[in-house]
């Protein structure tokens, strides 16, 4: 088999402190893979600047001038990690045979790339990078992250346990992924939906080399909620189930009330009345909220706005 051309896709948001350190590591890895004959010489490292507010784009531009293996695109504004990765993958899909997406902060072990390319050469189209341990994360991060995967799967959004966005995807799969037109994107859940032969490789996650995480609990919860509501309708089913249970209970309550009344046992039950009104009010608002979330998503999907807008590239587009 001919040696595949690899594009390493790296989203960057306010990473001017980290990039100068990690870019060299990525280049070294690319060169060693090429040296070992696993990938072709025209492989590249593709940075996606996600509308950074600091000097990240200048760093990327400088890197591109220094070495032809570095290339970069810039989004017109900050659109978030998922959109940045998608922009990079779509940019790469017609230029290479395989892509590996990885964060730029050096947390994910780049040495897993050897195994990933090996798995591709063995015939896998998708290779998930899975964290074997989470020792370097704080207890809080570990705990919340675990809850995240449990919740996701329970709610019907299929995700690979402990797999973030470090994965190898072939251009064959990306061509199919391009047909998924949704604007609410959650790549971790979408790639398994595309299918094709896949496998996992295991690696240990390190601490961030510099800078700080952009995923506090608030963003993680919103990612989980987005993932669930973008991929699954189970919450709506749960609400239907809940409604059914409450309806049955209410019916029993009504029968009980009527029987009590007929047998002349009614007393002024102010407390119980208020409790029931409050409970019903709360449940109804909650259910409306979840349904509203889906309607909001439908609203965004019908607008079909572009999922990313590339404003600049480090190279000249010829066509
Ligand atoms: N990132 C991005 N856009 C954003 C936030 C983050 O492109 O709006 C990038 C960031 O530069 C990094 C990756 O996404 O390469 C993961 O972010 P981070 O390391 O902050 O998350 P964590 O590893 O803590 O979950
Ligand atoms: Mg990180």
- pLDDT by 10-residue block (mean), the chain, 319 residues: 90 92 92 91 94 93 92 92 94 94 89 92 92 72 79 80 89 93 87 90 79 75 81 79 81 80 72 72 78 83 86 79
Count of other CB atoms within 10 angstroms of residue 160: 19
Integer CA distances (angstroms), 102 to 9, 158, 168, in order: 6, 21, 9
Count each helix (H run) and each strand (E run) in the chain, helices first: 10, 8
Q: Which of 8, 11, 16 to mutate to test the pocket of ligand 1 (most atoms within 8 A of CB)?
A: 11
Taking a 5 Å cut-off on Cβ, the residues next to ion ligand 2 are 103, 105, 107
Residue nearest to atom 19 of ligand 1 (CA): 213
- Tally of CA atoms within 13 A in the half-sphere of 174 that contains its CB: 24
DSSP H helical ranges for 93-216? 112-121, 139-154, 171-177, 187-194
Answer yes or no: pTM beyond 0.95.
Answer: no
Ligand 2 centroid, distance to 102 Cα (angstroms)? 10
Place of tokens 């995967």: 149
């Amino acid at each position: 088999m001919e040696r595949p051309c690899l594009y390493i896709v790296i989203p960057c948001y306010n990473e001017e402190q980290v990039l100068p350190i990690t870019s060299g590591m990525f280049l070294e890895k690319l060169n060693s893979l090429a040296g070992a004959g696993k990938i072709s010489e025209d492989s590249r490292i593709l940075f996606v600047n996600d509308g950074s507010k600091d000097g990240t784009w200048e760093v990327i531009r400088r890197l591109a001038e220094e070495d032809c293996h570095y290339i970069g695109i810039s989004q017109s504004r900050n659109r978030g990690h998922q959109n940045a990765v998608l922009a990079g993958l779509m940019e790469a899909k017609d230029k290479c045979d395989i892509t590996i997406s990885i964060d730029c902060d050096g947390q994910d072990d780049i040495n897993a790339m050897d195994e990933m390319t090996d798995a591709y050469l063995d015939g896998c189209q998708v290779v998930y990078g899975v964290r074997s341990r989470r020792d370097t994360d704080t207890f809080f991060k570990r705990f919340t992250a675990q809850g995240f995967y449990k919740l996701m799967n329970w709610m019907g959004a299929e995700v690979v346990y402990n797999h973030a966005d470090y994965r190898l995807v072939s251009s064959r799969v990306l061509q199919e992924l391009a047909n998924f037109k949704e604007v609410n994107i959650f790549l971790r859940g979408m790639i398994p939906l595309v299918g094709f032969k896949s496998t996992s490789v295991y690696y240990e996650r390190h601490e961030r080399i510099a800078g700080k995480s952009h995923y506090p609990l608030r963003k993680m919860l919103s990612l989980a909620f987005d993932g669930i509501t973008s991929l699954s309708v189970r919450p709506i089913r749960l609400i239907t189930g809940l409604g059914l249970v409450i309806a049955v209970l209410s019916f029993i309550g009504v029968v009980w009330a009527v029987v009590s009344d007929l047998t002349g046992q009614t007393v002024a039950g102010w407390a119980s009345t208020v409790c029931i009104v409050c409970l019903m009010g709360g449940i109804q608002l909650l259910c409306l909220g979840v349904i509203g979330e889906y309607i909001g998503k439908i609203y965004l999907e019908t607008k079909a706005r572009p999922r990313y807008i590339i404003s600049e590239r480090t190279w000249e587009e010829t066509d």
